[in-house]
Amino acid sequence: MALTTPHGKQAPETQLQRTLTSVLNELPVDSALAAIFHRENGPLVGHAVRGFTAREAQSILRTLSAPAFVSAGSPQEQDGGRTVRLRMITPGAKSLLGVPLKYRNRTYGFLVIGRKESASFTKKEKTVMDQAGEDVTKALDRDGLFGMDVILSRPLVTNEPVPSAPTAAEMFAAPVSQLTPQVQEQITALLTEASQIVSYDRAWVCHYDPIAGNVEVLGMAGDLKGEQKDSKKDMKPGHRLALDSSAAGWAIRHRKPRVDHDLASTQGRFLDHKQLFKDRFQSSLVFPFFVRGQVGGTLTLASREAGRYQPTDARTLEPTILKLADILQAPAPTAASPAPASGPGGAPASAETSAPVPLEPIIRKQERQAAIGEFSAFLATEVREPLGSIRAQLEEVTGEGILDFDPQTRVENAMRDLIRVEAILNEILDFAKPLELNRRLVRVPEVIESALTVVATDLEVTRIHVAKEYAPILAPVRGDEAKLQQVFLSIFKNACEAMTPGGQLTIQVTQHRAGKGFEDQIVIKNDGAPIPAEIVDKVFEPFFTTKRAGTGLGLATVKKIVEEHGGSITIGSAPGEGTTVTIRLPGVSRGPAFRHRSRGRRPPRRGN
């Protein structure tokens, strides 16, 4: 199976890919590629890659598929042994070193590593590559993948299913939880089996979600007495940990094992260590594992014995990691599609009897969503991960205290800029994900009051007068209070930026009948500079902004939140009238209506 991007569905990993990926993961390099010839004098097909982009990998494959390489594996520069120094220019690697994979004196593939520095490779690095090539050949021979003509056996390679191109809906599909009862049971059994290889008192497995930027606990084993209190802060399957505040995230960002012999020193920094320290554990081992050359997650072992683990224990658990990769790459069960609508007599409804559907707007929306989904997946894997690794290394350098004052200051300034870039990336990626709403009955006026409290200082400094008119009886809204507060905050901040000092902000909340129920209508009007007529219809589009430092996602996110609540939002603006934002949210018709009771500190009223 040729190299594919991680955005769409992948066919199940073959034994060939598992073997090549395991070799790449053992190499102490950032970029590596393994490719195989599947027919005599044929082009190379990549089966495992790490660190190279798809374009770089294809460039390397084209170069190595040249007749000069295919016929004899002849190098452009050979400096002892079998290693090949490739003279190519790729955006991410200035130096490339490869070794022809040979079986019975015939070349059947290539193993390539890349390095960003232009310095020559050392003799030790070339020896490691030679040994890695021999390990690949021995593993493939042991698994019976060679045919009589040396080229890999066709039934095990060329007949592998090829993944179809992802649809727009699949490309925009949000990260879905990997936790299912079956996966949890399999991982628990696998961890129990691993205790025979390396002993532990508690162990768990996390799955890495690059788009969400966190890890999800999939299964736990061992002594879980401290985990049975059913507290929201305690770790259990389904719990998610941020990369910056967990040892699992540290291992993913650095792509190497982490051993801690004193959890007291790290429990204030890592939430997973905090839980272990609370349950009187003393040492832990966390190491990342790879699935198809990409970081798949982490495995954590913890012990009440001090100094229990060493980094070499991670290699001892390699058989467990291979089984774990099989579990995580198994296709997830798909939801049953709804049955087609039936017409009279149970027959399927015909196209003539069904209501016409406007296909063009749907197609445009799918194309837009597909573009955002593809772009977000690229940012998550190719931009945010390297930025996280850079920041982790800068944190180590500044924490060691080895720099003088001037270099230390410059590094800290660079870290601040890096954190700002990461914040922008997270805003973009958060917009691409579907909202997870924590719904409950909320009062719209109280949400507005909470938002006004946040911007009270800005309103006071700019002397903006706030006029509020709430209907005495309003239907409650079933929604996420935090997300709705985010909506009003964004609108209030935009209004403050558009108004001059001494302006007026008017907020009106009324109740209207909508069908058989009610809806709450919120009208927010400011007398500031109007929005130009030519762009008023574009303000809710993603990435559209007129600000020099904006991402263009503020009002797009507002619209997304309102629509997820089943409501609608419109905006109108005209010279001399300012700007008016109208939001309609469906109310809960059952039960008594809520009467508004003011609470909290209100912004100061000025004028009138």
3-state secondary structure (DSSP) of residue 587: coil
Q: Starting at the edge strand that comes first in sequence, how are the strands of the sheet with 294-303 ordered? A: 240-242, 214-222, 202-209, 294-303, 283-291, 258-260
In angstroms, the CA 527 to CA 208 distance is: 48
In angstroms, the CA 48 to CA 423 distance is: 32
User: For residue 23, what pLDDT is reported?
Assistant: 78
Ranges of residues in the chain with a pLDDT under 70 are: 1-13, 40-42, 66-94, 116-119, 147-176, 226-233, 293, 330-375, 432-434, 548-550, 589-608
User: For residue 585, what pLDDT is reported?
Assistant: 92
In angstroms, the CA 573 to CA 581 distance is: 9
In angstroms, the CA 24 to CA 321 distance is: 14
**For 383-398, what is each residue's pLDDT tens digit?**
777 787 787 788 778 7
Give exposure, 26-48, as e/b (b: 16+ Cβ within 10 Å). Answer: ebebbbbbbbbbbeeeeebbbbb
User: For residue 510, what pLDDT is reported?
Assistant: 92
Which tokens go with 239? Answer: 């719990």
CA distances to 117, 253, 282, 287, 316 from 309, in Å: 34, 21, 11, 12, 12
